[in-house]
Structure 1
Amino acid sequence: MEGVIDGDTRALLSEDGALDWCVTEFVRVVDARLPPRVFLRHCPELATAGSAGPITPSATPVTLQLLGSDPRGLAANAEQAISQGVTRLDLNFGCPAKTVNRHDGGASLLRTPERVYTVVGAVAEVSQRHGVSVNAKLRLGFDDKQLALACAQAAEAGGAEELVVHARTRREGYRPPAHWEWIARIRAGVRVPVVANGDIWSLEDYWKARTLSGCRDVMLGRGMLADPWLARRIRHWLETGGERLSPTPWSARSDMLIRYADAKRDAGMAEKVIVSLLKQWLNIMRGRDSEAAARFTALRRETALAPFVAGLSDLGSSSDSTSSGTAAHASSTLAG
């Protein structure tokens, strides 16, 4: 997700009103108090934040995510973020990246529940003074699941008001399957709300994750990038008592990618970088859509922006279709 879920992506994916809230990419904290520009870069919505905090152009609330292991440094940067208008913070204990874990961040803290408690407690002490909520994003463990419940309870004891649990360990990475049934064990052992996350690519996955975890809400990550209408179809299904939207057409996917490219070009980003980001997003789409897979194959060696966008906008595919239905409201979240 790193490099893709930025302010422009959040604006595009939240514009139909189907998401309840969004999360930024993580702000990496070591020990120093970061300057305001760092938070603004990760959360440009802060530039227009009012009393309700940062929101997307469609008024979807945005949560700022911090990643680190130093309690004092995280507390100082939580104070800095709050002074800029943040009203909701998320602490990342779930990142499985080797570089992050090697530098004592993300899922590496799940080996010691006491450290999870200390980190959450330090940030919660600052946040509670300002009336700001703190959430914790967890996995089921580092190498195994033995400490899954202990870490969740440590985060709760430290002051986390909500837990988002990715249903795999750090060792399991993103390899299927997601163990949603393990989230049910965590949910039974804590009092705060728990949100299920991991491998929710479709309406069927959404319902299975809810059923096995017992959670009311889910967090969407890569699944939302693969299908920009995923939150919309979940919400529509809930509010209509089971009516399904038509499959997301390629025209909707390509429109999302092209508008993303336009936003980046208008912001002055180098064209080669834009192409790289488009490939990253298209690569996530191709695993769930045959037309996206064909476009990725055709464009994977293209480095110039204009021909790349032209390859996306060609709507001659026979697999394209027109979908009906309007956006409704859903219990879903977009994560960074």
Structure 2
Amino acid sequence: MPTPTLPSSIIPSHLQDPLVIGDVIIHSRVLQSPLSGVTDRAFRELVRRYAPESMLYTEMVQASGLCHARELEKIMDIGPEEQPISIQLFDCRPDFMAEAARMAVAEGAKTIDINMGCPVNKITKKGGGSSLLRQPEVAEAIVHAVVEAVAVPVTVKTRIGWDDDDINAVEFGRRMEAAGAKMLTLHGRTRRQGYHGPARWDWIARVKAALSIPVIANGDIVSVESALRCLEQTGADGVMCSRGTLGYPFLVGEIDRFLKTGLPSPPPTPLERLRCAQEHLHLLWQYKGQKGIHQARKHMTWYVKGFEGAAPLRDQLCQIKTLEEGDRLLNQAIQTLETTALRCDSDCFNSNC
């Protein structure tokens, strides 16, 4: 990621204060988004290293699945070192959501986040995710039921509307606040947009102006610069990083550091990214065994970029079947980069540059 060129003086002073969510105080204005198939315990461990005070989120959990099974999925397995952490739930039935929220709090969730923004068909067809934008009365009932069920703050993550003909973010946000939500995270795209086209931060600004609870901006937060632009344009109380963290668990910490100190973080070198990728691979094996190796394939390809030989290495890593195979490929690439770095240092010394 490029080094910020914007002066730290543009950072509003309130962004250096803690984020207050109901009675929970978070000493960071930068949050790691819940991402299905990504923000498991292995990934969160890496993000936490670089952002020790930020709020982390689990992958979203279907409430009815938990309540029927009466046993917690691995997805809700969180460690004490991960705090503060929120567990995100989705469903369209208030009673199931209330019961699942109680189970999540028992697991250690500091807040309960309700997903009302996922655009994926298999979620919306079940009445969850962004389909609730078209059912505001049901959304209100869900928030109210969860608020009544647990003592921790309840938050909502949603989008600006279903499509361009049905953008209802301001009214929907007001309903969520009235139902008892203590924070709203707003992705600046419609459900129809999915993840395409620019995030419309102007709608986040309108919602922020209309609500008294914290509003967190989400969408197109891929660097320190983009986070600063978004905060300036929206007046939001913080930002949530999503796809910008794929293969880059450093991002939340980079933005957090800049907001607190005005100092940029030096971007990780390709060598540092490869070492992080290797650690990620080992964590996935540690927590998930062979399933973790299969999931590691996509993560490895996200990490590997920005150096000579990255493309063929990605092709090989996306086919690994064992931990040993992934280790061998990464070790070879790491040794090549280390040798190149030593040669460059030697050439620089010999030329007195």
TM-score by length of 1: 0.81
Q: In 2, Cα distance between the equivalents of 1:137 and 1:320? A: 45
CA contact (8 A) 2:271 2:337 kept: no
Q: In 1, Cα distance between the equivalents of 2:289 and 2:244? A: 26
1:109 Cα deviation (Å)? 0.8
Aligned residue for 1:280? 298
Q: How does 1:185-264 map to 2 (within 5 A)?
A: 185-241=206-262, 243-264=263-284
Output one character per residue of 1:105-137: Cα deviation in whole Å (capped at 9) or x when no partner.
11111112222111111111112xxx3110000
Greater relative contact order structure (CA < 8 Å, 6+ sep): 1
Q: In 2, Cα distance between the equivalents of 1:87 and 1:240? A: 26
Q: In 2, Cα distance between the equivalents of 1:299 and 1:263? A: 16
Aligned-residue RMSD, C-alpha: 2.6
- The runs of 5 or more residues in structure 1 that have no matched partner are 49-54, 323-336
CA contact (8 A) 1:23 1:62 kept: yes
Aligned residue for 1:310? 328
Matched, 1:143 2:160: no
The 1:60/1:278 distance shift into structure 2, 3 A limit, reads same
Output one character per residue of 1:265-306: Cα deviation in whole Å (capped at 9) or x when no partner.
234611xx33432222234446x7456655323433444432
CA contact (8 A) 1:70 1:119 kept: yes
The structure 2 residue matched to 1:30, chosen from 55, 64, 67, is: 64
Matched, 1:9 2:43: yes
The structure 1 residue matched to 2:115, chosen from 82, 85, 92, is: 92
TM-score by length of 2: 0.78
Aligned residue for 1:74? 97
Aligned residue for 1:326? none
The 1:254/1:180 distance shift into structure 2, 3 A limit, reads same
Q: In 2, Cα distance between the equivalents of 1:149 and 1:201? A: 25
Q: In 2, Cα distance between the equivalents of 1:289 and 1:44? A: 34
1:61 Cα deviation (Å)? 0.7
Q: In 2, Cα distance between the equivalents of 1:174 and 1:261? A: 27
Aligned residues with identical type, % of pairs: 30
Amino acid at match of 2:72: V
Matched, 1:104 2:127: yes
1:238 Cα deviation (Å)? 2.7
CA contact (8 A) 1:19 1:231 kept: no
| Matched residues, number | 304
CA contact (8 A) 2:300 2:317 kept: no
1:17 Cα deviation (Å)? 3.5
SS in 2 for 1:104: coil
The structure 1 residue matched to 2:76, chosen from 43, 56, 69, is: 43
Deviating more after overlay: 65-74 vs 253-262 = 253-262
- The runs of 5 or more residues in structure 2 that have no matched partner are 1-34, 343-353
Q: In 1, Cα distance between the equivalents of 2:238 and 2:47? A: 18
1:100 Cα deviation (Å)? 0.8
SS in 1 for 2:246: helix
SS in 2 for 1:30: helix
The structure 2 residue matched to 1:61, chosen from 69, 72, 84, is: 84
Amino acid at match of 1:30: S
SS in 1 for 2:160: coil
CA contact (8 A) 2:167 2:190 kept: no
The 1:202/1:175 distance shift into structure 2, 3 A limit, reads same
CA contact (8 A) 2:204 2:234 kept: yes
The structure 1 residue matched to 2:177, chosen from 130, 145, 156, is: 156
Output one character per residue of 1:128-187: Cα deviation in whole Å (capped at 9) or x when no partner.
xxx311000011112235211121111111110000111111111111311112100111
CA contact (8 A) 1:133 1:161 kept: yes
Amino acid at match of 2:37: G
